Amino acid sequence: MQSQDLIPHLFRTEYSKLVTVLSKFFGLDHIEVAEDIVSETFLAAMETWPYQGIPDLPTAWLYRVAKNKTLNHVKKHQLFNKKISDGFKKSNSWIEELEVDLSEQNIRDSQLQMLFAISHPSISTESQISLALRVLCGFGIDEIADAFLTNKETINKRLFRAKEKLRTEKIQLILPSDEEINKRLEPVLKTIYLLFNEGYYSERSETLIRKELCLEAMRLNFLLLENPLSNQHLTNALMALMCFQASRLEARVGGSGEIVLYQDQDASLWNVELISRGNYYLTKAAAWPVISVYFLEASIAYWHTIQEDSDEKWENILHLYNQLLAIAYSPIAALNRTYALAKVRGKETAIQEAEKLGLSNNHFYHMLLAELYRDQNPTKVKSHLQKALELCKTDSEKKLIEKKLSQV
């Protein structure tokens, strides 16, 4: 792997680890110091690796440079908490005795603590998610702005206000009480859900599917599952959903880079182990007497891992969509429901339901209608595909639509 490919990959996987550990070292009131040091570390890699070659252990190189920059910063600015100051004020070698703990255990602990620290109730939900995407997931400001359908200025203001709250509320990187964990778990999971979705389907990247984002979301969710206090219904349900969706990632892109729709996927490419893990977490989630959005979405995803195209499968999917829309309506979920409706009640009924949605500015809407009209009205098929081609933003989807247009 070339440095221009490796560094962005490592940024996505290691940035959050370094920032959380250094934030714990300096204290959350100095989170910007941690971010600056980590950014300088990756900048050093960008300036060095293309000329001197990639180190044998690139992650260890980043950790060593981050440690050195941290100690240099302490020497220069003496930004260390009172406990460290008191412990070493009589010693001339206190800096040499400082230790930046980048052990795997401390990284996990720090990230879990950071997940809950930034979901403090004094911080607005949107700011919580923005900060989590920035600090824990390494999202750029542009990416966060696109995720919220807003601009960079708005996101920068949210991040500034969130960090101010961390300071003024004197929030610590520690696990909150049982009661507080229950209050903060939902925004934490929403952040993870957004991260996974960005990897599963990205309109902002040349690559439609970014597996590393999906894996990062699953890793963060696993941190919650490892802790008994956050190992709850929603956590297991979301993990089940991500496992089921991730199990079909390999089958979602064709040989020419085009997106492959569900009905055209090669089921032999589905990851059986991830499907099994999804079943495990879905069963765990079912132990709670709760029906949540994540649980319903995971149940729908489960039925999509059943290869047999049976009446039972689509009737169950339709029933689950009806439940989902009853508790959390969304136009896209309603659109997805119409495909199951076509399987159960026929295409005419599905067309009527789809057209009632009026999602004429959504390319998925036109792709679905093209599919539903396929056997009865070639003119409408072509018209909807052409409209979908105008509206879609990703190259892989354009390739698929162009392929379908050539077949009309």
Q: Counting beta carbons within 10 angstroms of the beta carbon of residue 391, is it exposed (0 to 12), middle (13 to 18) or buried (19 or more)? A: middle
pLDDT tens digits, one per residue of 343-357: 999 999 999 999 999
Structure token digits, residue 360: 């004429």
pLDDT single digits (tens) 27-53? 898 999 999 999 999 999 999 999 899
Per-residue tokens: 263: 């009905």
Neighbours of 192 (CB within 10 A): 27
Give the whole-angstrom CA distance, residue 95 versus residue 74: 8
Encode pLDDT of 99-122 as tens digits: 789 999 899 899 999 988 988 888
Give the pLDDT score at 400: 86
Angle between helices 152-168 and 125-135 (to 10 degrees): 100
Residue 259, beta-bridge partner list: 253
CATH topology of domain 104-194: Arc Repressor Mutant, subunit A (1.10.10)
Among the listed residues 193, 183, 28, 25, the one whose alpha carbon sits nearest the alpha carbon of residue 119: 183
- Confidence (pLDDT) at 390: 92
Q: What is the pLDDT of residue 96?
A: 53
Q: Output the pLDDT for position 85.
A: 54
Arithmetic mean of pLDDT over the chain = 88
Q: What would the pLDDT profile of 306-343 be if each residue is shown by its tens digit?
A: 998 899 999 999 999 999 999 999 999 999 999 999 99
Higher local confidence (pLDDT), 118 or 218: 218
Predicted structure pTM score: 0.80
pLDDT in tens, 261-307: 898 899 999 999 999 999 999 999 999 999 999 999 999 999 999 99
Q: What is the pLDDT of residue 160?
A: 93
Q: State both tokens at 239.
A: 């993990």
Sequence-distant (6+) residues with CB within 8 A of 119 are 128, 132, 184, 187, 188, 191
**Domain segments of the chain as ranges:** 1-102, 104-194
The residue that leads in pLDDT, 204 or 297, is 297
> What band does 91 get if pLDDT is binned at 50, 70 and 90?
very low
Task: Mention every residue, 6+ apart, whose C-beta is less than 8 A from residue 87.
Answer: 94
